[in-house]
């Protein structure tokens, strides 16, 4: 399961709002995703190989390399696509916003954004 801090969740929700055109702020460049571990982290620095995400004095390793989170978020204005728990989810945009209570659907599965990340 993806492990997120409040700051990371705020970053992802902000990114979703940016992609839907609700808010115009810059995309957090220091938020990365590791597909094999299904983990999102805010890295203070990446190693030269891109496989180590440094968080303060500690780090997490991703075998295939950490990728920018924006590579995994898409929006068409009605929903935001999120890759979580090895599934592609469509999270519904309500009044131009997504938050931890936004309903998400993946095939026959349903959940809330806050449960997925």
Q: What is the pLDDT of residues 60-114, one digit of tens each?
A: 999 999 988 767 666 556 778 888 878 888 888 777 777 777 888 887 788 888 7
* Run of H or E including 112: strand 109-112
Is 101 within 8 Å of 113 (Cβ atoms)?
yes
* pLDDT surpassing 70 at residue 1: no
Q: Which of 13, 2, 39, 92 is nearest to 106 (CA)?
A: 92
pLDDT, position 58: 93
What pTM, to 2 d.p., does this model score?
Answer: 0.46
Two structure tokens written together for 66: 């950490």
Between residues 62 and 31, the one the model is more confident about: 62
Q: Which pLDDT belongs to residue 26?
A: 36
């Amino acid at each position: 399961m993806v492990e997120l801090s409040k700051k990371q969740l705020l970053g992802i929700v902000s990114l979703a709002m940016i992609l839907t055109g609700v808010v115009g702020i810059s995309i957090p460049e220091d938020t990365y995703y590791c597909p094999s571990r299904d983990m999102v982290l805010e890295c203070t620095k990446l190693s030269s190989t891109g496989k180590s995400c440094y968080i303060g004095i500690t780090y997490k390793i991703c075998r295939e390399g950490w990728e920018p989170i924006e590579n995994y978020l898409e929006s068409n204005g009605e929903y935001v696509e999120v890759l979580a728990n090895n599934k592609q989810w469509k999270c519904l945009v309500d009044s131009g916003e997504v938050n931890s209570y936004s309903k998400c659907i993946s095939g026959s599965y349903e959940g809330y954004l806050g449960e997925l990340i």
